Amino acid sequence: MEAVTEQLSQGAFSLELSDDQRDVRDWVHGFAANVVRPAAAEWDEREETPWPLIQEAAKIGLYSFEALAQFYADETGLLLPIVNEELFWGDAGIGMSIMGTTLAVAGIFSAGTGEQLGEWVPQCYGTPDDPQVGAFCVSEPDAGSDVSSLRTRAKYDEASDEWVLNGQKAWVTNGGIANVHVVIASVEPELKARGQAGFIIPPNTPGLTMGTKVSKHGLRASHTADVFLDDVRIPGRNVLGGKEKLDERLARAREGTRAKKQAAMQTFENTRPAVGAQAIGIARAAYEYALGYAKERTQFGKPIIENQAIAFALADMALEIDAARLLVWRASWMGRTGRKFEHAEGSMSKLKAGEVAVWATERAIQILGGNGYTREYPVERMHRDAKIYTIFEGTSEIQRLVISRAISGMMIR
């Protein structure tokens, strides 16, 4: 916090959005309001990837590597969370179908070479006429939060200069339907997390198959499935960062030298504030709907917002959403400007935003009463969508573990 206070005192950081940031926010908000929201209930019921909407986003330039580069290039770090909040304000399931590819892209960015970025990131998106998606494969049936226990193996075949991957990945967004899969696998299991690396699986690679598609409680317009890897062979150059750097890192790990965070954790650290922004979008949508409802719904001869219990609930919702947004913006700014997360500020932002989303959507249902519990009103869907934000990319319990170890000075092994 001291670093943020110092920058504020020097005038280097401002919460006032620039004209360009407002323009992008309004552009994405318009797409969310006019294209995403009208289709939200339909795709939630269908539980299918909304390819027509992904294509619409691609045609206007929202779903593209160029757009993502623009969002990341913003020197304040605020543009990407702003975009996520607006899109998920429209609908979280459709929003995840559009933004889910960014996790694969973040995986490539976190450890990939410039050549790998140039070759594979555009293939994650495809073209406006033929959009594609990317997938980031980390979790496994027996390794959710404990990514150091991954069983998926990658072995180097020196004779053919190929990597051979075997294993199973679980709960993969876009798993099996992605054009490009980024897979975290263990190269030297005895080194646990320090012995892992990321691998790029090209389109139509033999041996990679989709398992059961998951029928979920929320985010039902986003595809989630298991991915099986059965003697998947990829070129040696498809290890993120290159084999030479991997060999150097493994050598340091064997010597006991403290190494850079392994691929999965590095990716999650970079994406947690953006995930928190998605949760804020859901919370804000529920709050705004409940506020409008409370102004119009009349009981005992007056709008229910004139009842103190309802008014105070809405006041608390507005307060908590703003507090969560400020944590997300701080973490995003720190990450963009290269400031070290001294107290796990990224985890703080994701933890707060996820729990606020669950709480705020539950409050919205309560304000709507029986109507809020039915599928005729969107707050029921928002509540289902919100719950995953206390689970994926690190449960709330894992975020508290990360934060507690950061403030106590303990290392996460």
SS3 for 8-34 is: HHCCCCCCCCCHHHHHHHHHHHHHHHH
> What share of the chain has pLDDT > 90, as a percent?
80
Q: Are strands 162-173 and 224-235 parallel, antiparallel or unpaired?
A: antiparallel
How far are the Cα atoms of 16, 27, 121 from residue 22, in angstroms, in the given order? 10, 8, 27
Is 393 labeled as catalytic in the residue annotation?
yes
Looking at the DSSP bridge assignments, the partners of residue 298 are 303
The pLDDT value given to residue 72 = 86
What digits encode the pLDDT tens for the residues 302-321?
999 999 999 999 999 999 99
Residue 299 half-sphere exposure, CB side, CA atoms within 13 Å?
Answer: 11
Strands (E), 293-389: 298-299, 302-303
What digits encode the pLDDT tens for the residues 153-200?
999 999 999 999 999 999 999 999 999 999 999 999 999 888 999 999
Q: Which residue has the tokens 């890192």?
A: 249
The pLDDT value given to residue 140 = 93
Q: Does the domain formed by 15-125 have CATH 3.40.50.1170?
A: no
Please give the Cα distance from 303 to 288 (Å, whole number): 16
Residue in 166, 175, 173 with CA at minimum distance from that of residue 210: 175
pTM: 0.91
The pLDDT value given to residue 260 = 52
Quickly state the pLDDT bin for 9 (edges 50, 70, 90). Answer: very low
Please give the Cα distance from 267 to 247 (Å, whole number): 20
Tell me the two tokens of residue 375.
Answer: 């599928």
What digits encode the pLDDT tens for the residues 206-260?
999 999 999 999 999 999 999 999 999 999 999 999 999 999 999 998 887 655 5
The pLDDT value given to residue 261 = 52
Name the active-site residue from 56, 86, 140, 393: 393
Domain ranges of the chain: 15-125, 134-254, 263-408
What digits encode the pLDDT tens for the residues 379-393?
999 999 999 999 988
The pLDDT value given to residue 257 = 61
Q: CATH assignment of 134-254, given 3.30.420.40, 2.60.120.260, 2.40.110.10, 3.40.50.720?
A: 2.40.110.10
Instruction: State the architecture of 263-408 in CATH terms.
Output: Up-down Bundle (1.20)
